[in-house]
Structure 1
Amino acid sequence: MFRQQPRVPQNCPPAFQGRYTVLPGDTFFTIAQIFRVRIEVLAVNNPHITNPNQLFPEDVLCVPSFIPYPCCTILYPRISVPFGTNGVANVNFAPRGGQAISFAATLPHPTTFGNFDMYTGEISIPGIGGFGNQLYGNPQDPPVWSTRIDLPTAASIMPNSFLVIRPFNSVTGRSGAIILESIIRSGNCQSQQ
């Protein structure tokens, strides 16, 4: 039985740095809808697919993004932190289209850093603004705290986007000092494609 070898681009155009792996049933039309781009634009930016009407599972397409993704970046301590404190952020596709960023970090209880009862993960995108969400801890000691931020489809993560995790007081609305941080650059965003 003949099996089509996946078609993978050698590189992607500057504004199409993201990569999408085709799933069974995907078409150029459905993929264009997910990424809010015209089919013609998707086809032009994927010349390794000679017939846009014929996609195969595991083909890889270049999709609109200013950074390569899916990707992962390490969050580094900004202040003195207890041993074992660390974190990562993962940029990927959001479940309903667009982009999402997930945070996961091993952190002590927020009271370690003062009068705080939770953590927030935040991304600040140059020229667009900031988005954030509460992190939730698991029952381990110390807990792993995590969250996902689904960006509006009009927003796109760009180089020099700033990522932080900081403690927060839900009663007073006061944020604490940044605990972990990273800046997304094409060079530090490790992609597995």
Structure 2
Amino acid sequence: MMYRQQGRLPGSCPEGFLGRYTVLPGDTFFTIAQMFRVRIEALAVNNPHIPNPNVLFPGDVLCVPGLIPFPCCTSLQSRGRVPFGTGGAAYVNFGPRGGQAVSIMATLPQPRVFGNFNSYTGEIVISGTGGFGNQLFATPEDPPTWSSRIELPTAASVTPNSRVFVRPFNSLTGASGAPVLEGIILGGSCQ
């Protein structure tokens, strides 16, 4: 009979380390500290439920740098008059190359419904830091689902009250329209 170590979970995470990471086979405190660009000592001190940083088990959950508990998501609500069925979500999680990423998915009409536009952009505006965005791409359905991922620079971190927008965009002229969807990452959690 084989016994498997049950993952150790933090009771709560300290301010500034509200993100959570689940340990995978082969992970060490050193590799996780590198991934999140944090000192190994800071990772150890913020995870007192792991008594020996040299011993990690797959399934252990660590508190990692983050000003909001993530992964999390928020609904994107319509701003103004939009066709029936328009809506979306933004998902905040770890970026594949370290740092944080915001994935946006939305069911939207063709952008020309809002004027001389041929695409959409998704944006996150972080108070005191600035805005980051990316073009959304459509699936072949009608109406399509538009999606993209915004990878934040490692110096940036999603904070409470960050705002996520989707707006029509003209890729030929660079013109942007007014936001058609908006969501807010609320303080303390995502909704």
TM-score interval (norm. to shorter): over 0.9
**Which amino acid in 1 is paired with 2:62?**
L
**Which amino acid in 2 is paired with 1:109?**
Q
Separation in 1, partners of 2:32, 2:60: 12
Per the alignment, residue 155 of structure 2 pairs with 154
Per the alignment, residue 79 of structure 2 pairs with 78
Separation in 1, partners of 2:166, 2:18: 26
Q: How does 1:29-44 map to 2 (within 5 A)?
A: 29-44=30-45
Matched, 1:121 2:122: yes
- Helix, strand or coil at the partner of 2:44: helix
**Which amino acid in 2 is paired with 1:150?**
E
How many residues align structurally? 190
Give the gaps of 5 or more residues in structure 1.
none
Separation in 2, partners of 1:186, 1:126: 12
Contact 1:131 1:149 in 2 (8 A): yes
Per the alignment, residue 3 of structure 2 pairs with 2
Contact 1:14 1:66 in 2 (8 A): yes
After TM superposition, the score normalised by the length of structure 2 is 0.97
**Which amino acid in 2 is paired with 1:68?**
P
Separation in 1, partners of 2:5, 2:101: 31
After TM superposition, the score normalised by the length of structure 1 is 0.96
- Helix, strand or coil at the partner of 2:41: helix
Shift of 1:187: 4.9
CA offsets 1:145-167 (integer angstroms, 9 cap, x no match): 00001111111111111100000
- Helix, strand or coil at the partner of 1:90: strand
Contact 1:21 1:59 in 2 (8 A): yes
Cα RMSD for the two superposed structures: 0.9
- Helix, strand or coil at the partner of 1:120: strand
Identity %: 70
Separation in 1, partners of 2:80, 2:33: 43
Contact 2:68 2:189 in 1 (8 A): no
Matched, 1:141 2:142: yes
Per the alignment, residue 178 of structure 1 pairs with 179
Matched, 1:88 2:92: no
Separation in 2, partners of 1:187, 1:42: 21
Shift of 1:188: 5.0
**Which amino acid in 2 is paired with 1:81?**
V
Separation in 1, partners of 2:8, 2:80: 45
Per the alignment, residue 22 of structure 1 pairs with 23
Contact 2:72 2:92 in 1 (8 A): yes
CA offsets 1:163-183 (integer angstroms, 9 cap, x no match): 000001122211101100011
- Helix, strand or coil at the partner of 1:33: helix
Give the gaps of 5 or more residues in structure 2.
none
**Which amino acid in 2 is paired with 1:43?**
A
Per the alignment, residue 64 of structure 1 pairs with 65
